[in-house]
């Protein structure tokens, strides 16, 4: 007899299978996700609009988060898995909202990132993202489909770092209460930013990882401070005791993000105009290019993602990930690389066993601000 289907790892090939998993959802209309307890609010951000209609008429569709406040979005007893998160916000810049996720009562978070960067939107401006793991849709709707299993508890919080302004947050967290396989690892995501990158130093996407797991994705918000092409740098994965040299070494920044030749069709096809070309696909994309406007927006900025869905990078004991910022010197006779000093931010996504080493301290909002 076939094993009972847990209801996790859902795809088109097994949607027909029955399961004992219990589907639940947390939102401002049901803060706990309890069965039969949705839409019961009698007060909330929509209460004034629902006057005369009463209970059940969109009384509490969102929450208000005050300046310097941290709110709990979800606190779930397991076992189970988060299967989808939808979130949108008004009033606040996305780097001022910090998303954190804690697994199984671990004191420090396994996910810590500004909301915008976590959802591939690091520059506080909307760009369509159409991928398997993250979708950003019109109206600045943030969605993620990373499966996040947990055994005892999942707790999700959001912090408003703006000292002067409140925000309105709409969200829905869809999850299943189900058996979690023994070999299931825990989802992690960590934000970093270096501005500017010191001369001749590699940018560190991730380090300090200890345990077994697999690296599954990278988002980068890259602000260029030099003229010319900026993406010759190689990404490197140091794993399981690697020291000076990595086990995996890429061939160029645009190559890692599944593009080629400067993301510029005109480089190889003279019939096309030469320019950066945005693209968004299930596994990789350059969905955002912010171009100089000739006045105050002086630098070109890029948003890129790469998901290792069919090619996860597996490690047994440790992992460190770096990337070079590398351009070209302008003198044509002097064909040499130029180490760049760019504004680079990233979110690394991976699964690993617990316990997790505490992340490095997240810098203050002034350092993280998109200027």
Mean pLDDT of 306-329: 97
Mean pLDDT of 209-220: 98
Q: What dihedral do alpha carbons 319, 325, 328, 329 form, nearest 10°?
A: -120
Query: Which residues on neighbouring strands pair with residue 345, listed in sequence order?
Result: 193, 221
Least Cα distance to 33 among 150, 180, 144, 155 occurs for 155
The one-character DSSP state at 27 is: B
Mean pLDDT of 296-307: 95
Cα 272 to Cα 293: distance, rounded to the nearest angstrom:
22
Cα 75 to Cα 101: distance, rounded to the nearest angstrom:
10
Cα 252 to Cα 249: distance, rounded to the nearest angstrom:
9
Mean pLDDT of 224-235: 95
Cα 161 to Cα 195: distance, rounded to the nearest angstrom:
20
Residue 265 pLDDT > 90: no
- Cα 112 to its chain centre, rounded Å, is 9
Whole-number pLDDT of residue 332: 72
Least Cα distance to 27 among 53, 1, 58, 61 occurs for 61
Contact present, 120 and 27 (Cβ < 8 Å): no
Whole-number pLDDT of residue 2: 55
Residue 184 pLDDT > 70: yes
Mean pLDDT of 227-255: 97
In this prediction, residue 330 has a pLDDT band, given cuts at 50, 70 and 90, of: confident
Phi, psi of 362 (to 5 degrees): -75, 125
10 Å Cβ neighbour count for 19? Answer: 16
Q: Six-digit token pair at 66?
A: 């005050």
Mean predicted lDDT score pLDDT of the chain: 95
Give percent above pLDDT 90 in the chain.
91
CA distances from 36 to 30, 61, 248, 330 (A): 9, 17, 50, 66
Q: Six-digit token pair at 311?
A: 């090619």
Residue 324 pLDDT > 60: yes
Cα 62 to Cα 340: distance, rounded to the nearest angstrom:
43
Cα 251 to Cα 231: distance, rounded to the nearest angstrom:
10
Whole-number pLDDT of residue 347: 98
* Tokens 């890259």, residue located: 222
Query: pTM of the prediction?
Result: 0.96
Q: Which segments of the chain does DSSP mark as H helices, in order?
A: 115-118, 253-256, 365-368
Whole-number pLDDT of residue 1: 42
Architecture of the domain defined by 62-368: Sandwich (2.60)
Q: Where are the domains of the chain?
A: 62-368
Whole-number pLDDT of residue 335: 85
Q: What is the pLDDT of residues 190-211, one digit of tens each?
A: 999 999 999 999 999 999 999 9
Mean pLDDT of 36-43: 95
Contact present, 131 and 307 (Cβ < 8 Å): yes
Mean pLDDT of 2-14: 89
- Burial of residue 168 (number of CB atoms within 10 Å: 0-12, 13-18, 19+): middle
Mean pLDDT of 77-98: 96
Tell which wins on pLDDT, 49 or 331: 49
CA distances from 205 to 68, 96, 338 (A): 28, 21, 20
SS3 303: strand
User: Which residues have C-beta within 8 Å of that of residue 74, sequence separation ≥ 6?
Assistant: 26, 33, 154, 155, 156, 173
Q: Which contacts qualify for 360-363: CB closer than 8 Å, 24 or more apart?
A: 360/192, 360/208, 362/98, 362/112, 362/191, 363/193
Q: Six-digit token pair at 157?
A: 């919080």
Residue 95 pLDDT > 80: yes
């Amino acid at each position: 007899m076939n094993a009972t289907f847990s209801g996790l790892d859902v795809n088109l090939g097994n949607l027909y299978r029955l399961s004992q998993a219990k589907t639940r959802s947390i939102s401002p209309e049901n803060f706990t996700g309890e069965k039969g307890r949705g839409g019961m609010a009698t007060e909330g951000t929509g209460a004034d609009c629902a006057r005369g209609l009463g209970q059940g008429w969109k009384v509490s569709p969102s929450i208000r988060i005050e300046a310097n406040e941290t709110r709990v979005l979800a606190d779930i007893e397991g076992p189970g898995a988060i299967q989808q998160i939808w979130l949108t916000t008004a009033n606040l810049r996305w780097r001022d909202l910090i998303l954190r996720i804690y697994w199984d009562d671990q004191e420090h978070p396994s996910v810590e990132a500004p909301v915008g960067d976590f959802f591939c939107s690091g520059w506080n401006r909307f760009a369509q993202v159409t991928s398997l793991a993250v979708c950003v849709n019109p109206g600045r709707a943030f969605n993620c489909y990373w499966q996040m299993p947990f055994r005892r508890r999942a707790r999700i919080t959001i912090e408003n770092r703006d000292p002067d302004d409140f925000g309105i947050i709409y969200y829905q967290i869809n999850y299943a209460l189900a058996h979690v396989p023994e070999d299931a690892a825990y989802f992690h995501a960590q934000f970093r930013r270096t501005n500017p990158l010191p001369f001749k130093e590699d940018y560190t996407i991730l380090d300090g990882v200890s345990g077994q797991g697999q690296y599954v994705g990278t988002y980068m918000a890259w602000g260029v401070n030099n003229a010319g092409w900026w993406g010759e740098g190689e990404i490197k994965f140091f794993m399981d005791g690697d020291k000076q040299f990595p086990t995996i070494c890429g061939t160029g920044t645009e190559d890692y993000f599944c593009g080629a030749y400067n993301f510029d069709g005109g480089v190889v096809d003279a019939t096309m105009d030469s320019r950066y070309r945005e693209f968004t696909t299930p596994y990789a994309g350059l969905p955002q290019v912010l171009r100089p406007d000739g006045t105050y927006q002086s630098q070109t900025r890029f948003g890129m993602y790469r998901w290792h869905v069919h090619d996860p990078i597996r490690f047994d004991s440790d992992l460190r990930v770096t990337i070079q910022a590398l351009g070209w010197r302008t003198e044509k006779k002097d064909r040499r690389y130029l180490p760049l000093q760019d504004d680079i931010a990233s979110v690394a996504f991976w699964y690993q066993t617990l316990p997790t080493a505490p992340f490095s301290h997240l810098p203050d909002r002034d350092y993280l601000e998109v200027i």
